[in-house]
């Protein structure tokens, strides 16, 4: 079965070998290692400003559960801060099988950045067997929104960049746009849209759902309220046409999950610049990234897009090319 992976003092590197195969998809054979967690300076600020119960450090993952923060009051923040949001069964850094944002953060560090401008926390857990249980629930979205707001307040920056991967794309969009959610853990209202996002980069996000959810409709992550339900028909196109690049009939009236429908119908500005990127051979999204003749990873009203021809779902985040692209997109080099 296909399971969904919608998914701090000065750092140092080491090289670690990991297995080639994993039931949730492939990762890179060798990885750099960046060490967190959040700096003591940021952790102290969080405690003093009412965020102590949010567990943004995620020390259950040791030094891999979070990243970011200044080392002292005197340290300058030289770049627009970036907040990274990982996907389902991933983590901030390399807590489990997958790498989190290790490769991207190390690339930024090599370009002269430091933890004062780079921020990530883990959500959920890294157990792939739990992937089918995860949804865009109130607990996760409220906590991640508080993290984004905390980073903006802590850095005193008038703008923030956000990079999300997999489920981190749809979570990231929602915590920025705000609004109501109907979820298994209750109903909630995240509030008004956040207006300080400069660049939003979405990597391999299932913005219009996942076709394999039609088969796996009993999985909570595929539910009709706050999951990745793609609809089981579109006009006269039946379920077996969900992943087709070209549909037999005109497509209208598709009923995605309430969460996705609300997200894609929201005309508030997500960011000043929105970039979507995905792979045409994504091993988890599958179907060439198509859903009812449309790329599911293409965020509505994107300014730019890039399609990778040969990357897995995780390589779309962690490959050298993608890492370089992420850096250049938020710095407006390309």
Whole-number pLDDT of residue 9:
33
Residue-level pLDDT at 33:
80
The model's pTM is: 0.91
Six-digit token string for 264: 């894609």
pLDDT, residue 8, reads 30
CA distance 24 to 314: 10
Split the chain (334 residues) into runs of 10 and give each run's mean pLDDT. 40 32 47 87 98 97 97 97 97 91 96 98 93 96 98 98 98 97 93 97 98 93 96 93 93 91 94 98 96 96 97 96 98 90
Q: What pLDDT does residue 30 have? A: 45
Measuring CA to CA, which residue among 40, 46, 116, 44 is closest to residue 76?
116
pLDDT at 4: 44
Cα Rg of the chain (Å, integer): 19
Dihedral sign from CA coordinates of 310, 314, 320, 322:
positive
């Amino acid at each position: 079965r296909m399971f969904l992976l919608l998914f701090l003092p000065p750092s140092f590197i080491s090289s670690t070998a990991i297995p080639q195969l994993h039931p949730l998809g492939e990762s890179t054979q060798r990885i750099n290692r960046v060490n967190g967690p959040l700096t003591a300076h940021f952790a102290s600020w969080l405690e003093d400003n009412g965020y102590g119960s949010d567990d943004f450090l995620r020390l259950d993952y040791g030094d891999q559960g979070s990243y970011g923060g200044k080392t002292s009051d005197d340290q300058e923040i030289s770049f627009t801060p970036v907040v990274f949001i990982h996907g389902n069964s991933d983590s901030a850094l390399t807590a489990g099988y997958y790498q989190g944002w290790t490769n991207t953060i190390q690339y930024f560090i090599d370009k002269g950045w430091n933890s004062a401008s780079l921020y990530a926390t883990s959500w959920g857990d890294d157990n792939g067997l739990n992937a089918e249980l995860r949804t865009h629930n109130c607990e996760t979205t409220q906590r991640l929104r508080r993290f984004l707001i905390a980073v903006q307040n802590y850095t005193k920056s008038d703008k923030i960049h956000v990079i999300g991967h997999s489920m981190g794309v749809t979570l990231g969009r929602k915590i920025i746009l705000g609004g109501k959610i109907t979820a298994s853990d209750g109903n909630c209202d995240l509030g008004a849209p956040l207006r300080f996002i400069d660049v939003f980069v979405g990597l391999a996000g299932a913005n219009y759902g996942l076709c394999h959810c039609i088969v796996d409709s009993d999985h909570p992550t595929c539910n009709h309220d706050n999951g990745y339900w793609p609809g089981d028909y579109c006009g006269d196109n039946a379920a077996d046409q969900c992943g087709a690049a070209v549909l037999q009939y005109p497509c209208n009236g598709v009923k995605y999950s309430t969460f996705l429908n609300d997200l894609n119908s929201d005309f508030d500005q997500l960011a000043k610049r929105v970039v979507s990127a995905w792979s045409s051979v994504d091993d988890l999204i599958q179907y060439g990234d198509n859903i009812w003749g449309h790329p599911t990873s293409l965020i509505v009203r994107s300014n730019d897009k890039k399609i990778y021809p040969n990357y897995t779902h995780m390589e779309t985040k962690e490959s050298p090319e993608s890492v370089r692209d992420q850096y250049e997109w938020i710095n407006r080099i390309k």
